[in-house]
Amino acid sequence: MSEYKIPTQTRIGHVHLKVSDLQQSLDFYCGLLGFEKMLMYGDQAAFISAGGYHHHIGLNTWHSKGASPAPEYAPGLYHTAILYPERKDLAVALQRLIDAKYQITGASDHGVSEAIYLNDPDQNGVELYWDRPKEQWPVDPQGNIMMFTRRLDMEGLLGLLK
């Protein structure tokens, strides 16, 4: 069999999460993070988006209403990564989390990106991040990307809001 490579224009269109309480998840994703509710399927599912797309995130209670979070040390989704267009947009998100006293579980500079980590109400991991311009990505002498994990300069990030 010949080696197949997925088309370079391919992208992840959306993620669909099982949640225990739909309203609690809507309060988090729409109320705190700012996604827009696009469609409700009764009281069992919601489709939310940024910028009017049909949906970036689906939320449903079809198999999970009232259930406990998935075990931390079991196979499954590690996190949903939400990519912000500009560094200042990430700063606004960080300030909203701080103002809401929402628990942040981590914050890292990866060289290619800056990221803030947290969990949604069902303990699903969420990464809020922005990518540096490609020409600023760290590379080795052969041109290979050299990602790393360092402390995020949160003060510098929040300084964009002054």
Residue 58 sits in the same domain as residue 113: no
How many CB atoms are closer than 10 A to CB 54? Answer: 10
Residue 5 forms part of a structural domain: no
Residue 7 forms part of a structural domain: no
Residue pair 128/116 in contact by the 8 Å Cβ criterion: yes
Phi/psi for 96 (5° steps) reads -65, -40
Q: Mean pLDDT across the chain, nearest whole number?
A: 96
Distance, CA of 62 to CA of 144 (rounded, Å): 44
Residue 108 sits in the same domain as residue 137: yes
Residue 86 sits in the same domain as residue 157: yes
For residue 61, give its domain range: 12-65
User: For the chain, how far is it from start to end, CA to CA, in angstroms?
Assistant: 57
pLDDT above 80: residue 46: yes
Predicted pLDDT at 55: 96
The model's pTM is 0.94
Distance, CA of 66 to CA of 136 (rounded, Å): 45
Residue 20 sits in the same domain as residue 58: yes
**For the chain, how many structural domains are there in total?**
2
CATH number at residue 100: 3.10.180.10
Predicted pLDDT at 153: 97
pLDDT tens digits along 88-119: 999 999 999 999 999 999 999 999 999 999 99
pLDDT above 90: residue 2: no
Residue 70 forms part of a structural domain: no
